[in-house]
Amino acid sequence: MDPVEVVEGDVSVLDRADVDTDQIIPKQFLKRIERTGFGEFLFYDWIRDGEIELEPNPILVAGANFGSGSSREHAVWAIADFGFKAVIAPSFSDIFYANSTKNGLLAVIVPPEHCRGIAAAGRARIDLDDQTVDYEGGVVRFEIEEDVKHRLLGGHDEISITLQDAEAIDAYEAAHPMLGRPTTAI
């Protein structure tokens, strides 16, 4: 994962609430077994039907509860592959938010009035270290967990970080034997 510090540039606007992952990347594209190449299928039905137009700007602004529905990480891969580096919305589904952080896509939560302001301004600058979004007409602070921020800034791989705790995992397993049969023996 590449480190992320600042995302700056033009804003694409998707003025809808509850944008679900079935819309972001329809199921017919989930059959691919690679992580790449999903961008061209982003919002496939909506774009193909002429319902929305989207420029591959660095920033996407959307309505509340963005990324609801299925856990498919393909949604994040598609958004990133399309060219977005950050999504700004009043709220995100939990799984989409977590998936974003594993792929260096910034998911930034700011109140609806600022989302509207950013959409109107058409340009914004997100500073992860400062936790601020700057746009013509305002500046707003956003919250992000310290660990997650640190990992994004450093571009660190989460599995490597966890494996530094391998002894703790060994110790846990030794202290908690499993009841019931192993899945390999049923």
Partner 1 sequence: MTPTTLFDKIWQRHEVADGLIYIDLHLVHEVTSPQAFDGLRLANRKVRRPDRTLATADHNVPTDDTPVARMIRDELSRKQVEKLEANCREFGVPLYSLGSDRRGIVHVIGPELGVTQPGMTIVCGDSHTSTHGAFGALAFGIGTSEVEHVLATQTLVQKRPKTMRINYTGQLPEGVGAKDMILATIGRLGTGGMTGHVVEYAGEAVRALSMEGRMTMCNMTIEGGGRAGMIAPDETTFAYVEGKPGAPTGADWDAAVASWSELRTDEGATFDEEVEIDASSLSPMITWGTTPGMVTEVASVVPDPDSVDGPVEPETAKRALSYMALEPGIPMTEIALDRVFIGSCTNSRIEDLRAAADFVSGRKVADSVRAMVVPGSEQVRKQAEEEGLDRVFRDAGFEWRASGCSMCLGMNPDILIEGERCASTSNRNFEGRQGKGGRTHLVSPQMAAAAAVEGHFVDIRGWKERS
Q: How far is the CB of 93 from partner 1 (least distance, A)?
A: 7
- Listed ranges 3-11, 63-71, 78-86, 117-125: which one lies at the site for partner 1 (CB under 8 A): 63-71
Of the candidate residues 2, 143, 174, 179, the single one contacting partner 1 (CB under 8 A): 179
Contact flag: residue 139 with partner 1 (CB under 8 A):
no
Residue 12 binds partner 1 (CB under 8 A): no
100: closest CA among 113, 111, 89?
89
Structure tokens at 49: 């039907």
* Encoded amino acid at 94, one letter: D
SS (H, E, C) 74-134: HHHHHHHHHCCCEEEECCECHHHHHHHHHCCCEEEECCHHHHHHHHHHCEEEEECCCCEEE
Residue 111 in contact with partner 1, rule: CB under 8 A: no
Query: Which one of 27-35, 53-61, 80-88, 110-118 is the stretch in contact with partner 1 (CB under 8 A)?
Result: 27-35
Residues 87-106 that bind partner 1 (CB under 8 A): 91, 93-95, 98-99, 102-103
Torsion of CA 142, 146, 148, 152, to 10 degrees: 80
- Which range of residues in 53-61, 65-73, 122-130, 134-142 is near partner 1 by CB under 8 A? 65-73
Six-digit token pair at 127? 């500073």
- By CB under 8 A, tell whether 27 contacts partner 1: yes
> Does residue 33 belong to the site contacting partner 1 (CB under 8 A)?
yes
How far is it, in rounded angstroms, from Cα 76 to Cα 54?
16
| Contact residue for partner 1 among 5, 6, 10, 35 (CB under 8 A) | 35
Asked if 171 contacts 178 with a C-beta cutoff of 8 angstroms, the reply is no
Q: Could you tell me which stretch among 4-12, 53-61, 120-128, 156-164 binds partner 1 (CB under 8 A)?
A: 156-164
30/139 with CB nearer partner 1:
30
